[in-house]
Amino acid sequence: MRVARPLIVALCLLAGKPGAALSQATTSSPPPGGPKKSEGPFLVKPYLQWGDSTAREGTRSLAVLWHTGDDAKPWSVEFQPGADQPWRPAEAPTPRRIAVPGIPPHRLYRAILKNLVPGARFSYRLSQAGQPVFQSDGRAPKAAAAAYRFVAFGDCGAGTPEQASIAYRAYREQPDFVLITGDIVYERGRISEYRDKFWPVYNADEASPAQGAPLLRSTVFLAAPGNHDIATRDLERYPDGLAYFLYWDQPLNGPPGRVGGAKVPALKGPEANRRAFLDAAGPAYPRMANFSFDYGNAHWMVLDSNPYVDWHDPDLRAWIERDLASARHATWRFVTFHHPGFNSAKEHFEQQQMRMMAEVFENGGVDVVFSGHVHNYQRTVPLRFVPENDAAGKPVRVANRVGGRWTLDTAFDGRTHTHPSGVIYLVTGAGGNHLYNPEQQDDHASWQSFTHKFISKIHSLTVADVDGPRLTIRQVAADGQELDNFTIEKR
Ligand SMILES: [Fe+2]
């Protein structure tokens, strides 16, 4: 049985009383991008991130980040690793000044909560100039033996009512972490767009289907960058773009990227704009586009699947092969990237470039691939794919189409036959933006033979429960309606 989430306490210390912010109200909250309440000393209230340090320290640390104006009042952070443990100070928060054209200069602060107790709920509080101004709680990442839940959705930060209702559903599911499968914020992943369509929804003070939920402050978010997040490197047209590299704190353990190389397009725009971005991004750019991490008994790989990436690049392929080989100890191997290789929707059907990596995933023992980009939900049967190769042994790619042969495990049904032969590919891109191809949901003849489920008439999210060798995945609508359900078991 899952433990109920303790109530979130936010900013109420200012008023000298504990505050419970859980609300079912659906009518009084402003829509995303609408009028905003005072955020006190914050431009963006604290939010939990996996952090690069976690990659170095296993499951025992997390990062808390927040944004303020361009002042230098001293901040301090304390945290309580467990209910019975004393409060302890975190190391002094480190600021990074973000000063890009078109946005008033502001500061991003980062503090690392170290030596957490795996799986335990913890509390943390922030003080400015000695005055407490914010408190919340969270859960430390779980150890390998523990059962855990994550939710996944993509194509979400569109400022729609459906984005808020899916966020609220995610909150109600009480996940241990949230995974965004790309296209985090529309239209260009800009700072200004994060302020309208990301923070107000996923870090709302109150939980409601109309507004969203206080998820970010209490639950770790991880994300794969999509095309709307990082494909445009034009800092002349969008000088506050590429905010993914500014505001997320994810492992920097991926393959180093050379600007102009196989996976890093050159930045465009005036030198001053490029310099401002690079100064603000620090070491996150461009490295944070690809990374891996372990959670519980699973190994995760996160890839940038934008079409500019050269999947023939030997360094990139070698990194992926090495990373998966090093994860043989893990019970589960999951991969996430934005552009699905196996998609039956007419929308984006031709963007099949990730099929070129299917054999690498199969050889690396990948169980499930989570993607977005296509704004609906799709599940393949377990499959293996052999691309059609040219005389040089490279897959034939015409534009982004990749031909080949697939072998389908049609015996797997996720109920009585739960041992798949091959990789299951999920599209979970119905997190907020308008849906793609609703007319195909009931038109089975329009599905590719690898597609088992196609839900495109309703927004939804993926809820995954991992319990040792058993993985149960449900696709759930905003009202809790179950749209799909299957189980995978390890022998
Ligand atoms: Fe996309």
The CA distance from 315 to 313, in Å, is: 6
How far is ligand 1, taken at its centre, from the CA of residue 306, in Å?
9
How far is ligand 1, taken at its centre, from the CA of residue 258, in Å?
24
pLDDT tens sequence across 135-152: 999 999 999 999 999 999
The CA distance from 462 to 484, in Å, is: 9
DSSP for 262-290 reads SS-PPPBS-HHHHHHHHHHHGGGTTGGGS
Between 339 and 16, residue with greater pLDDT? 339
The CA distance from 454 to 452, in Å, is: 7
| CA 276, 277, 278, 279 torsion-angle sign | positive
Lowest mean pLDDT among 22-26, 273-277, 389-393: 22-26
Q: Tell me the residues surrounding ligand 1 (ion) with CB < 5 Å.
A: 183, 226-227, 373
How far is ligand 1, taken at its centre, from the CA of residue 470, in Å?
31
| CA 309, 315, 318, 324 torsion-angle sign | negative
How far is ligand 1, taken at its centre, from the CA of residue 411, in Å?
32
How far is ligand 1, taken at its centre, from the CA of residue 270, in Å?
27
How far is ligand 1, taken at its centre, from the CA of residue 226, in Å?
5
The CA distance from 49 to 193, in Å, is: 20
Query: What pLDDT is attached to residue 114?
Result: 93
How far is ligand 1, taken at its centre, from the CA of residue 434, in Å?
12
How far is ligand 1, taken at its centre, from the CA of residue 181, in Å?
9
Q: How many CB atoms lie within 10 A of CB 443?
A: 12
Q: Reply yes or no on whether the pLDDT at 77 is more than 80.
A: yes
Query: What pLDDT is attached to residue 37?
Result: 52
How far is ligand 1, taken at its centre, from the CA of residue 169, in Å?
22
Give the list of residues 6+ apart from residue 423 with CB closer than 8 angstroms, or none. 358, 361, 362, 366, 367, 368, 369, 382, 383, 384
The CA distance from 144 to 331, in Å, is: 9
Helix or strand run (H / E) with residue 125: strand 121-128
How far is ligand 1, taken at its centre, from the CA of residue 155, in Å?
7
How far is ligand 1, taken at its centre, from the CA of residue 174, in Å?
26
Q: Domains in the chain and their CATH numbers?
A: 41-139 (2.60.40.10), 148-489 (3.60.21.10)
How far is ligand 1, taken at its centre, from the CA of residue 31, in Å?
23
How far is ligand 1, taken at its centre, from the CA of residue 231, in Å?
10
How far is ligand 1, taken at its centre, from the CA of residue 338, in Å?
7
How far is ligand 1, taken at its centre, from the CA of residue 371, in Å?
10
Query: What pLDDT is attached to residue 69?
Result: 96
How far is ligand 1, taken at its centre, from the CA of residue 151, in Å?
19
Tokens of 255: 């393959």
Q: Reply yes or no on whether the pLDDT at 23 is more than 60.
A: no
CB-count exposure of residue 37 (10 Å: 0-12, 13-18, 19+) = exposed
Helix or strand run (H / E) with residue 138: strand 131-139
Q: Reply yes or no on whether the pLDDT at 274 is more than 60.
A: yes
Query: What pLDDT is attached to residue 448?
Result: 98
How far is ligand 1, taken at its centre, from the CA of residue 474, in Å?
23
Query: What pLDDT is attached to residue 38?
Result: 52
How far is ligand 1, taken at its centre, from the CA of residue 305, in Å?
10
pLDDT tens sequence across 326-346: 999 999 999 999 999 999 999
How far is ligand 1, taken at its centre, from the CA of residue 59, in Å?
31
Helix or strand run (H / E) with residue 228: helix 227-230
**What is the average pLDDT score of the chain?**
91
Residue 169 backbone phi and psi in degrees, to 5: -65, -40
How far is ligand 1, taken at its centre, from the CA of residue 416, in Å?
35
Closest CA to 380 of 291, 453, 292: 453
pLDDT tens sequence across 155-178: 999 999 999 999 999 999 999 999
Query: What pLDDT is attached to residue 16?
Result: 29
How far is ligand 1, taken at its centre, from the CA of residue 357, in Å?
19
How far is ligand 1, taken at its centre, from the CA of residue 373, in Å?
4
Query: What pLDDT is attached to residue 31?
Result: 37
Confidence of residue 14 (pLDDT cuts 50, 70, 90): very low
How far is ligand 1, taken at its centre, from the CA of residue 184, in Å?
9
| CA 375, 250, 265, 369 torsion-angle sign | negative
| Mean pLDDT, range 81-100, rounded to an integer | 94
Whether residue 59 contacts residue 71, with contact meaning beta carbons closer than 8 Å, is answered with no
| CA 13, 14, 19, 23 torsion-angle sign | negative
Encode 276-311: b = buried (16+ Cβ within 10 Å), e = exposed.
bbeebbeebbbbbbbbbbbbbbbbbbbbbbbeebeb
